[in-house]
Chains A and B, each alone.
Chain A
Amino acid sequence: MKRHTLLQYAARSLFRRAATQRYPAERTPTPERLRGTLHWTPDGCTGCCLCSKECPANAIEIITIDKTTKQFVARYHADRCIYCGQCVVNCRFSCLTMSPEEWENAALHKQAFTVYYGDAPHVERVLEGFVSQDSASNPST
């Protein structure tokens, strides 16, 4: 910097408040398009599995409860997710959204990163092991 420019900057900075924030008391609003935690709603899902087939990180699995009545449960691995948003683009029925608010995703144990979405009784059945754990998209695993 030229000396006078530098002095100008220094003088101006003297009266400016600190650029750092008192996080978490104070936080910058996140941009609307920020890609945070993935959310899935069962309404409208046809089990086409385009979301899980093209997921680069195998972070989402669609588990079939009943194919004929189109009942599914989604298992989301937040620790694998790279937040690219490809699944959201792929879903033609708008079942998937990424929340711009949920970005503080640290946890103390691994279980917190496996999230189940779907109707509560269905999720319970999956958790209790009554439903084949094979996801609809990836029958081999």
Chain B
Amino acid sequence: MDTTVPQRFVVPIGPQHPALKEPGHFEFTVDGEQVTGASVRLGYAHRGIEKATEGRNWVQNLYLLERICGICSHVHATAYCLGVEKLAGVTPPPRAQAIRVLVAELERIHSHLLWLGVAAHEAGFDTLFMYSWRDRETVMDILEALTGNRVNYSANLLGGVKFDLTSELTDKIYKGLELLEERTYQYVDVVTSDATLLQRTRGVGVTTREQAEQLGLVGPTARASGVERDIRVEAPYAAYPDFPVKVVTATAGDLEARFVVRLQELFEAYRLIRAVLEKLPPGELQARMPRKIKPAETVSRVEAPRGELFYFIKSNGTDQPERIKVRTPTLCNLASVCVLAVGSQLADVPMILAGVDPCFSCNDRMVTVYSGDTDHTQWTWKQLRQYGIDYYRR
């Protein structure tokens, strides 16, 4: 063997891998323990939801789109509702908008606590994982009492919301928040002082402000690098104009900063929920929506727990949409993994990946590979069937 030529060694991670809960494929070129190159491949959990929306009516799509993500289902439904309401020229009542914000913030707490557990687990700190998931139960119980479900709350309706707040629920939420707030102080203390955890987070995966801007990072990932990017502040939607949000940022840009930003955002969420509960506007819960919507197109942006969620909605005058395009925050953030992994230790890669809070199934999309000779971009049903028969005959 020629030993003068350096050997290129590729470590594949995924689609099935213990460090990943969802299918994604990464290839890391390593030199010893040092990562020298990284690439990502998506498409293992493509579900064709965007296409499926074109065969359903506006109301049915609400529930289909809510199921894009199991963790941030409410923001998907909110983004869709806000877009469709804009197309139809309907303004939901202020009470409905406030309840949307309330559920969105409860969901943010649930999502961030879940992430804290996952990230701690990736770092090998399973005690923190267990405790944070135990506390997540508190907010899940609140959501269940409020909407009837622990995930996929179905709180939204086109033109409003389904559920109202009662004084009993308000008390339950206040009580739950009190407990969570106390715990969150502990978590902040832990992630900034635990020596073992700090070895895995401090100075790891450092994203500078310039890098964050160049890579187009969104959400807490960008805010940890000092980029003040938050749709709730830049383009307030629903009831956020009435309940302003303070953007939480950090400057370090490493994994520790991402921990701190997400945890500080929890305090902001607690404050917002209390503000909404105190100043909940009275009135109706739903405005009337037309069944058919005249031809138009619109863009709807909301701040999901992971960052900016983008919807493009086009109507054609019928009760079904012409086109719906979804861009989830993970897609923006995933590219940063490939950049940050280069130069870091292979053992840090799962942590860097967990640091962007990836949600593969939400962002998964079809990948078209142009082979050059034949056009494989469009197949008829017959061709696809024949391909399947030939494939299994071989």
Interface string of A58-101 (1 = CB under 8 A from B): 00000000000000000000000011111001000000000010
Interface secondary structure of B, over-half rule: helix
Chain A residues near B163: list those with CB within 8 A: 33
- B57's partner among A33, A54, A57, A84 (CB-CB below 8 A) is A54
Chain A minimum-CB-distance residue to B286: A89
Q: Contact check, B60 vs A2: say whether CB atoms are below 8 A apart.
A: no
CA distance A132 to B144 in the complex (A): 40
Chain A minimum-CB-distance residue to B127: A1
Q: List residues of B (28-86) whose CB comes within 8 Å of A's CBs.
A: 56-57, 59-64, 67
Chain A minimum-CB-distance residue to B163: A33
B145 at the interface (CB under 8 A from A): yes
B207 at the interface (CB under 8 A from A): no
- A54's partner among B59, B128, B149, B190 (CB-CB below 8 A) is B59
Q: List residues of A (79-133) whose CB comes within 8 Å of B's CBs.
A: 82-86, 89, 100
Query: Using a Cβ–Cβ cut-off of 8 Å, how many residues does chain A contribute to the interface with B?
Result: 22
Q: Contact check, A6 vs B63: say whether CB atoms are below 8 A apart.
A: no
B356 to chain A, nearest CB (A): 25
A87 to chain B, nearest CB (A): 10
Q: Contact check, B127 vs A85: say whether CB atoms are below 8 A apart.
A: no
- B127's partner among A6, A32, A56, A57 (CB-CB below 8 A) is A6
CA distance A57 to B62 in the complex (A): 12
Chain A residues near B234: list those with CB within 8 A: none
Q: Contact check, A84 vs B186: say whether CB atoms are below 8 A apart.
A: no
Q: Contact check, A85 vs B148: say whether CB atoms are below 8 A apart.
A: yes
Q: Contact check, A56 vs B149: say whether CB atoms are below 8 A apart.
A: no
User: Which residue, of B63, B148, B186, has the highest number of chain A Cβ atoms within 10 A?
Assistant: B148
* Size category of the binding interface on chain B: 20 to 34
Interface string of B147-187 (1 = CB under 8 A from A): 11100101001000011000000000000000000000010
Q: Contact check, A89 vs B162: say whether CB atoms are below 8 A apart.
A: yes
- B145's partner among A33, A83, A89 (CB-CB below 8 A) is A33
Chain B residues near A55: list those with CB within 8 A: 60
A19 to chain B, nearest CB (A): 8
Interface secondary structure of A, over-half rule: loop
B146 at the interface (CB under 8 A from A): yes
Chain B residues near A48: list those with CB within 8 A: none
Q: Contact check, B147 vs A33: say whether CB atoms are below 8 A apart.
A: yes
- Given A1-B127, A1-B186, A33-B60 contact (CB < 8 Å): no
Chain B residues near A82: list those with CB within 8 A: 63, 67, 152
Q: Contact check, A85 vs B190: say whether CB atoms are below 8 A apart.
A: no
CA distance A83 to B189 in the complex (A): 41
CA distance A69 to B4 in the complex (A): 91
B194 at the interface (CB under 8 A from A): yes
Chain A residues near B60: list those with CB within 8 A: 54-56
A35 at the interface (CB under 8 A from B): yes
Q: List residues of A whose CB falls within 8 A of some B CB.
A: 1-2, 5-6, 9, 31-35, 53-57, 82-86, 89, 100
Q: Contact check, B190 vs A31: say whether CB atoms are below 8 A apart.
A: no
- Given A6-B127, A31-B144, A33-B147, A84-B63 contact (CB < 8 Å): yes
24 contacts between A and B (CB under 8 A): A1-B127, A2-B189, A2-B194, A9-B131, A31-B145, A32-B145, A33-B145, A33-B146, A33-B148, A35-B148, A35-B149, A55-B60, A56-B56, A56-B59, A56-B63, A82-B67, A82-B152, A84-B152, A84-B154, A85-B162, A86-B59, A86-B63, A86-B154, A89-B162
Chain B residues near A57: list those with CB within 8 A: 63
CA distance A54 to B147 in the complex (A): 20
Q: Contact check, A83 vs B149: say whether CB atoms are below 8 A apart.
A: yes
Chain A minimum-CB-distance residue to B141: A31
CA distance A56 to B152 in the complex (A): 14
A132 to chain B, nearest CB (A): 24
Chain A residues near B189: list those with CB within 8 A: 2
B193 at the interface (CB under 8 A from A): yes
Chain B minimum-CB-distance residue to A53: B57
CA distance A53 to B57 in the complex (A): 9
User: Which residue, of B61, B63, B146, B194, has the highest number of chain A Cβ atoms within 10 A?
Assistant: B63
Q: Contact check, B148 vs A56: say whether CB atoms are below 8 A apart.
A: no
